[in-house]
Amino acid sequence: HTIRRVDIPPAREIVMTDEEREATADRLEIAMAEEIARHRRNGVHRDVMEKLQANGFRDLERLKEKMHFPSLDRLLPLIDEEVYTVADFVRDASPLLFLDEPLTYSRRLDAAHAGFIQRLTGLMEKGDTFAFSEGCQVAPPDVLRTIDNARRFIALVDMPASGNGLPGAAHMSLHAGAVNRYRNQPDKIAADVARVLQDHGSALLFAGSDERAEQLSLFLLDHGVEMAVVLPGIFPRGFVIGSLPLLVVGTENLYGVSRRKARRKKRSQREVFYQDLVPGSFVVHEDYGIGCYEGTEPITTSDGTRDYLTIRYRDGVLRLPVDRVDLLSPYIPVGDTKPRLSYMGGAGWRRQKERARSSIKRLVTDIISLYAERESIKGHVYGADTVWQKEFEESFPYEETNDQLRVIAEIKNDMESEKVMDRLICGDVGFGKTEVCFRAMFKCVMEGKQAALLAPTTVLVRQHVRNLRERLGSFPVEVRELSRFIGREEQKAILKDLAEGHADIVIATHRLLSKDVSFKDLGLLVIDEEQRFGVDHKEMTKALSPSVEVLTLTATPIPRTLHLSLAGMRDISLLEEGPEDRLPIRTAVIEYDEDLVIDAILRERARHGQVFYLFNNTHKIDQRATELAEKMPGVRFAVAHGKMTERQLESVIEAFLEGEYDVLVCTTIIESGVDMPRVNTLIVEDADRFGLAQLYQIRGRVGRSERQAYALITYRPDRVIGEAAEKRLAAIRDFTELGSGFQIALRDLEVRGAGNLLGAEQSGHLESIGYDLYTRMLEETVREAKGLEPPPQRVQTVVDLTVDAILSADYVSESDERLDIYRRIASIDTLDDYRDVFDELTDRYGDPPEETVALLDISYIRAFGERSGFARICSSGRNVELILHDSAKSDERAMELVSRLLSVSTQEHRLTFKAGYRAMILAHGVAAKASATPSILRDIFSSAEKV
């Protein structure tokens, strides 16, 4: 291969001639004398002055001896009178300088410089450095002045705001719109592309493959379109900028969304945990209790150098090898309260676990007895789907998600069996719960029975009635609405129709539970947001009939682990897959700028949309709405907050739903269950006062349609934001993809969802021992109560090889990046995982050093050892012992891997089985050269897996 370029960096950042060294030494002597004299005048402690003087004399000696030393960079202001930025070196080349979000850049520059000054002040107070070291860093105003002096400069801003740009610069506003869908409409593609090209614009189309690109190019040429650029790459959704004009057509715009999704590899427990692990995180160790993770540090022992996690407890510190993170689980606090740290050796943690286990046993016993009682009642057995059922389902105007199809099948299986259905359906608003329950209700009516839907508010009742009637179309199904909006005489008529069977479906508020409501033959009850009724689920269903099928809908997230633990006791279906057309919400976190807020509201109104304006202060909310209305004549404002009566609140929301208002100035009380597809802009004032989970839920209330939604998260310019609030705002800004996680926020919501499902007593235990440990105990107790084997537990393999295994700061300098790489290494389970991580490291940082390769090897070795049932893999002289765990002998899969391992024995690396008290495999000669041991074991184990 021809080498096109070689980069030869300087051996050191500061390279000095002999003359420069002498001149620097002279300047240091003068500066040191001046600073010592100033300290004496200011009464600085003698110890500080002596330390400063000793450090100065040491540096002088090193300069005269022509030595290089780490603190040389602190003398930079003495070495060179000027400090330069990158822009100074390229000024003569007149580069085109792009600056992304100048306002954000300026703030980060100020924050970085403030941090530098704070650290420098700390060093000066201890006598570790001189005041002139402040000149090591260019002050923010000087950096910005250098940038301003650039001859060609383009600032990129997501949203215009005061100070976010260049004074006197020309402004170009690029508004990108959505692109049409062209699936099965080829003529429309040609017409749209031709129109843009005729306006002297550009068109770029992403076909997704070479074959499709060639076909599309030929098709456009046949239609007289010659200047379009067709690429084989994948770019999902395109956009159009009319002012340029530019048309970019994405792969999904051309061909639609492929419903076949690549199977996502299940992430290991270690990888998931590491994603949440940052210094200050609370963790749970099953033996020691709740501690606080403080970071990682390298420790050298007789076995080599390794990185260790530092976990602080009330009475000490636990140091755990980084690759043993699987012994920890994250502690997710309920709300903003911090947990009490456990005593490492105390009995309190053991008592907490025992109390939780006893309470879980009582809960499981109660649930299983309820389940058995329910099983003894025989329900109506529904027949297979009718022709009308199929027609009703085919009239659904959207493509069902895979989750919807699965949940619908589960419900039908319940209805077509003798078992009385009692199923909980969990899914976010807009994920398809309503369509699922509509199909169940239709099936019930087709059997000649009646169905009822119970909703917590009249607004939701109205929305369900409107949607169901629209879905039913011409089908002869009678739907009735029962709420306070219905007059007394009409209510009497509806109750008569229900009792005589003239009404097939009723959708109602808690009015449905009144004693004067009776049915001719109720077959199905659907309860929307059960926990909001304040009435126990059993009592509600008992009031109607013990043999009625029950579907309960909730938008509160239920953790998958808890779902699996309760499977078979209460039937739970999860809808986790969002609609294909929903776009991620574009989020900006900025200082409050009234001009920008007004612009955002007017833009949303111009596209006939609506706005949520979140102002969480009930005392001043009316005043705030009035102020906004005065600045935007013609924009219709409404106010909604928790101190309004239920009737007032519902009236306002109903009017907003009907399009009578453009902006709803509201508190967090705003109805979360109601679908408001026209609301596509959210503005939050004083966002730093909200919790992360709250912000996540609030933002999720917009963007329910195919339109692009926007969230403007603002905070006051004059308020000093705390570190925790700043992290929350950064998280809401950075995680914008649908289902992107928000690991902490979602887990917080899930823990609350678990509490709702399990009740107050269990919530207390869930909080005291941590969610992960609680669900593990729950699963064990359920299996025990059902007479099943305890859940299979993967053996925890200890790898004890005499070798350095570390991710050094010399290889990956940034601590945040190192932790991220540790996450990736911790997730290694197969040889493919190993190769992926190795290739990623090589690509990002160059060839990994020997000790980093050893770290990767050990992670793979441990994963193989856990699958094979090895309790310990350790060096023993020239050999390596692979000691089997007692449980491995009864594990067929582990024994099969052990058998394969023995079959790859070679003359160079002989493997023999050794029976006895500690059954083991002996790998002969593998540890002869300690540094090569991990790579030899990796090769042996990978060969065994290929057999």
Query: What pLDDT, in 10s, does the model give residues 539-576?
Result: 555 556 678 899 988 776 555 545 555 555 568 888 87
> Which residues have a Cβ under 8 Å from the Cβ of 872 and sit 6 or more positions away?
797, 798, 800, 881, 882, 883
Q: CA gyration radius for the chain? A: 34
Average pLDDT over residues 319-346: 74
Q: Would you state the pLDDT for residue 740?
A: 38
Q: Which helix (H) or strand (E) holds 298?
A: strand 289-301
What SS3 class is residue 533?
A: helix
Q: Looking at the predicted structure, is the pLDDT value of residue 514 above 60?
A: yes
Tens-digit pLDDT profile for residues 915-929: 877 889 999 988 888
Round to whole Å and give the CA distance between 852 and 843.
Answer: 14
pLDDT value of position 350 = 87
Specify whether domain 269-336 bears CATH 2.40.10.170: yes
pLDDT of 721 reads 56
Q: Name the one residue in this structure whose structure tokens are 């807020």.
A: 597
**467 or 363, higher pLDDT:** 467
Most confident of 291-305, 501-515, 680-694: 501-515
Burial 875-888 (b: 16+ CB within 10 A, else e): beeebbbbbbbeeb
Which parts of 668-776 are beta strand (E)?
679-684, 710-715
Predicted local distance difference test score (pLDDT) of residue 184: 64
Q: Which pLDDT score is estimated for 257?
A: 58
Which burial class, exposed, middle or buried, applies to 869 when counting CB atoms under 10 A from its CB (0-12, 13-18, 19+)?
buried
DSSP string covering 215-278, please? HHHHHHHHTT--S-EEESS--SS-EEETTTTEEEE-HHHHH---S--PPPPPPPHHHHHHHH--
Burial class (CB in 10 A: 0-12, 13-18, 19+), 463: buried
Residues 6+ apart with CB under 8 A from 640: 649, 652, 653, 656, 664, 665, 666, 667, 669, 670
Nearest Cα to 801, choosing from 756, 865, 845? 865
Task: Judge whether 505 and 465 are in contact, CB under 8 Å.
Answer: no
Q: What's the rounded Cα separation, in Å, for the pair 627 and 598?
A: 11
Q: Tell me the three-class secondary structure of 21-55, residue by residue.
A: HHHHHHHHHHHHHHHHHHHHHCCCCHHHHHHHHHH
Q: Which CATH architecture describes the domain 586-737? A: 3-Layer(aba) Sandwich (3.40)
pLDDT of 673 strictly over 70: no
The model's confidence at residue 513, banded by pLDDT at 50, 70 and 90, is confident
In this structure, CATH architecture of domain 370-573 = 3-Layer(aba) Sandwich (3.40)
Q: What is the pLDDT of residue 336?
A: 53
At 711, give phi and psi (nearest 5°): -125, 120
**Which residues on neighbouring strands pair with residue 296, listed in sequence order?**
309
Residue 938 Cα distances to 484, 870, 883, angstroms: 71, 15, 17
pTM, to two decimals: 0.55
| DSSP-assigned states of every residue in 67-110 | ---GGGGGGHHHH-S----HHHHHGGG--EEEEE-HHHHHHHHH
Cα separation, 868 vs 913, whole angstroms: 14
Pairing verdict, β 710-715 and 152-156:
unpaired
pLDDT of residue 243: 82
On the question of pLDDT at 745 being above 60, the answer is no
pLDDT at res. 45: 87
Write down the pLDDT at residue 382: 95
pLDDT score of 615: 92
Arithmetic mean of pLDDT, 685-713? 76
User: CA–CA separation, 614 vs 702, rounded Å?
Assistant: 12
Tell me what percent of the residues of the chain surpass a pLDDT of 90.
24
- 58 or 699, which is more confident: 58
Helix then strand then coil, in percent of the chain rounded to 5, is: 45, 15, 35
What average pLDDT does this structure show over 648-670?
A: 87
Residue 658: burial class (beta carbons within 10 Å; 0-12, 13-18, 19+):
exposed
The answer to whether 370-573 and 798-946 have equal CATH topology is no
Is the CB of residue 236 less than 8 Å from the CB of residue 704?
no
Rounded to an integer, what distance in angstroms lies between the CA atom of residue 601 and that of residue 611?
7
pLDDT of 529 above 80: no
The model's confidence at residue 729, banded by pLDDT at 50, 70 and 90, is low
- pLDDT at position 636 is 96
Reference 935, options 925, 945, 926; nearest CA is 926
**For 798-946, CATH number?**
3.90.1150.50
Rounded distance between C-alpha atoms, residue 449 and residue 422, angstroms: 17
pLDDT of 840 higher than 70: yes
Q: For 858-882, how does the pLDDT look when each residue is reduced to its tens digit (9 = 90+)?
A: 999 999 998 888 889 999 888 999 9
Residue 460 or residue 390, greater confidence: 390
Q: Give the whole-angstrom CA distance, residue 702 versus residue 610.
A: 10
Tokens of 191: 């017409």
The token pair that represents 230 in the structure block: 């067709």
Closest to 408 (Cα-Cα) out of 433, 371, 436: 436
Amino acid type, 53: Q
Give residue limits of the domains in the chain.
1-81, 176-255, 269-336, 370-573, 586-737, 798-946
pLDDT-derived band at 381 (thresholds 50, 70, 90) equals very high
More confident: 463 or 265: 463
Note the pLDDT tens digit of each residue in 10-46. 666 677 888 888 999 999 999 999 999 998 998 888 8
Most confident range (mean pLDDT) of 253-262, 301-310, 526-535, 924-933 is: 924-933
